[in-house]
Amino acid sequence: MRVIKSIVLSALLVCGAAGTAFATNGLLLEGYGPVSHAMGGTSMAFDNGAAAMTNNPATLGLAPEGNRIDIAVGMLRPNVRWDMGQGMSERSDSRSFVMPAVGYVRRQGDWAYGIGAYALGGMGTDYPDAGMYSQLVVGKVLLPIAYNISDKLTVGGTLEYIKADMDLVMTDPQYGMRIFDFRDGSDFTGATSGWGVSGKLGITYKLHERVTFGSAYQFKGELSDLTGDGARVKNLNMPASWSAGFAVKPFENVMLTADYTRIFWSDAMKTLHVSQGNIAMPLKQNWKDQDVLALGVAWDILPQLTLRGGVNFANNPIQDNVVPLFPAIIRNHYTTGFGYRFNENHSVDASFGYAPKVEVSNGAPFTGTVSHSQTTSQLMYSIKF
């Protein structure tokens, strides 16, 4: 009971201090937890630790019996530049963000359950010379459960509490007039905040002793209006998504993974209605649905050491004219990492990802070209007992 209370407290703290997770697959990370992240974000059909609660909760049923605590931290380092034309350009000052995560899971017989919190994602930029700043922070507290119906079939679900925070400083690029100005000065919270609930359902099925299929459906997360500092942001939602994938072990010490995900941004990111004082303005988003293909490999090179690698390919869901404020335009990711087991109770996992530069040209009012590249890294310490 003392362990569970500690995890609950940590989960609430993490959700309140998720940090700005700069956009990757839209505003979602390309992988949750360093095991999945190192393998291109694949996670549908193999045990990937407590991060399963936000990936595919059914994979909790693939874990060994007992308790597990994962404590992780992620670092995102974006490089965004806005070329406004006529010799004017500015690099965003939002260049480094920290994302904590914590999860506890217990597998007992045919049941598995737990609690945790993960920084879901976000986006933002800081152009001080242009008088433009944006920060969107989204975190989740999660309650997962899984049940092994048979030795082949497992089903699982996660109940999710979503919290979102947003800052926005917006200046008319033509006349230099300040339009919106709400910002709390913190990298971990926002001047406006709102919340919502959602959930996820998943399955895994062992087609063969060396082949496992997995699939999960993420329900749309409808958030309340984000309010604070005399401002209000309406119609910000988290998208529904569907994922399916395989894990294949051609050799005892090698695993190959492949996942496909469809993210339904078009139903979630339409038009944000922002108001402050007597000023109200629609910020059109009109994102497109996104297809993501992830491939991964894990090689147990030594009994205590696993090497991992992967790729993550996606189309850009962003339309023109909103990119300087919310440049979630990254397409491809290349990832690697490792896991090291000190003994049967303690281990560490790490991952690193690189996203090459993508450029998008804008029309009025944010005329110019925006480029975006970034690196991501995650580090996790695990305790089993």
The rounded average pLDDT for each run of 10 residues, N- to C-terminus, in the chain (385 residues) is 43 38 71 97 98 97 97 90 78 82 97 94 81 88 98 98 93 81 85 96 97 98 94 94 98 98 93 92 87 98 97 84 68 96 98 92 73 93 97
Within a 13 Å sphere around the CA of 208, how many CA atoms are in the beta-carbon half? 7
Predicted TM-score (pTM) of the model is 0.90
Distance of alpha carbon 78 from alpha carbon 94, whole angstroms: 7
Residue 317's Cβ-count burial label (10 Å; 0-12, 13-18, 19+) is buried
Instruction: Give me the pLDDT at residue 365, please.
Output: 65
Specify whether the CB–CB gap between 277 and 256 falls below 8 A. no
Instruction: Give me the pLDDT at residue 115, please.
Output: 98
For 366, phi then psi, to 5°, come to: -100, 65
Instruction: Give me the pLDDT at residue 23, please.
Output: 52
Specify whether the CB–CB gap between 351 and 31 falls below 8 A. yes
Q: Tokens 């990802």 — which residue?
A: 353
- Per DSSP bridges, beta strands 88-91 and 290-302 are unpaired
- How far, in Å, are 79, 80, 129 from residue 84 at the CA level? 16, 13, 12
Within a 13 Å sphere around the CA of 294, how many CA atoms are in the beta-carbon half? 35
Using H for helix, E for strand and C for coil, what is the string for 114-165? Answer: EEEEEEEEEEEEEECCCCEEEEEEEEEEEEEEEEECCCCEEEEEEEEEEEEE
Nearest of 219, 20, 273, 287 to residue 138 by alpha carbon? 20
Nearest of 207, 301, 338, 223 to residue 269 by alpha carbon? 223
Distance of alpha carbon 328 from alpha carbon 27, whole angstroms: 6
Residue burial 290-300, b: 16+ Cβ < 10 Å; e: rest: bebbbbbbbbb
Beta bridge partners of 310: 296, 335
Instruction: Give me the pLDDT at residue 13, please.
Output: 37
How many C-beta atoms lie closer than 10 Å to residue 238's C-beta? Answer: 25
- How far, in Å, are 6, 66, 111, 122, 347 from residue 331 at the CA level? 38, 38, 38, 16, 32
Specify whether the CB–CB gap between 371 and 338 falls below 8 A. no
CA 296, distance to chain mean position in Å, is: 18
Q: Tokens 């440049």 — which residue?
A: 327
Instruction: Give me the pLDDT at residue 4, please.
Output: 43
